[in-house]
Structure 1
């Protein structure tokens, strides 16, 4: 299996419901380093997994819709704890939609999977992996 990974970052504010979250029940900020890994079993005719420039551009666009937002105010997330795990799935699913729409070019049609990892710090991160 071949893969490429592109990286960007995301800054949000949010709060959580539930005693398990302790002080994070109050509004707080989070800055994530975000990795998106695209996979396929064979390289495309140009010898690449996917155009790295397009992959980086689409990751930036997906994150741009969330960046500098208070997720508590976003209708899409009403009633949801926007945990790191949850946000990794949101980013992966939105990227998958862009792949299906052709935003990563014709060569991306051979992609079979994507993994999105949100790094909360140098010692903690969460990932979501999905098929395409």
Structure 2
């Protein structure tokens, strides 16, 4: 399996419901480093997994929709604990939608899967992987 990874970051504010979250139940900020890894079994006709520039641009556009937002105020996240794991899935699913819509080029239609990892510090991260 071949892969490429592109990286970016975003900053949010949010809070959690549930005693398991301790002080994180209060409004707090988080800065995530995001790695999006695209996988395919064989390289495309150009000898690549996917166009890195397009992958970078699409990841940046998705993260811009979340950046500098209080997720507690976003209707799409109403009633949801926007955990690192949950946000990894949100980013992965939005990337998958863009792949299927052709935003990463026709060659991207041959992708087998993708994984998104969000690092919230140098010691903690969460990821979500999905097929395409």
TM-score tier after normalising by the smaller chain length? over 0.9
Distance in 2 between residues matched to 1:89 and 1:111, nearest whole Å: 18
SS at 2:38's partner residue? strand
Q: In structure 2, list runs of 5 or more residues that go unmatched.
A: none
Tell me the SS of whatever aligns to 1:103.
coil
Aligned pair count reads 132
**5+ unaligned residues in a row in structure 1: which ranges?**
none
Query: 1:34-60 deviations in whole A, cap 9, x for unaligned?
Result: 000000000000000000000000000
The offset of 1:23, in angstroms, is: 0.3
How far apart, CA to CA, are the structure 2 residues paired with 1:25 and 1:48?
Answer: 44
What is the TM-score when the length of structure 1 is the normalising length? Answer: 0.99
Equivalent runs, 1:7-22 vs 2, <5 Å: 7-22=7-22
- Superposed, 1:1-132 pairs within 5 Å as 1-132=1-132
Superposition TM-score, scaled by structure 2 size = 0.99
Q: In the aligned structure 1, how far is the partner of 2:14 from the partner of 2:89?
A: 17
User: Post-superposition, which runs of at least 4 consecutive aligned residues in structure 1 deviate over 4 A?
Assistant: none
CA RMSD of aligned residues (A): 0.3
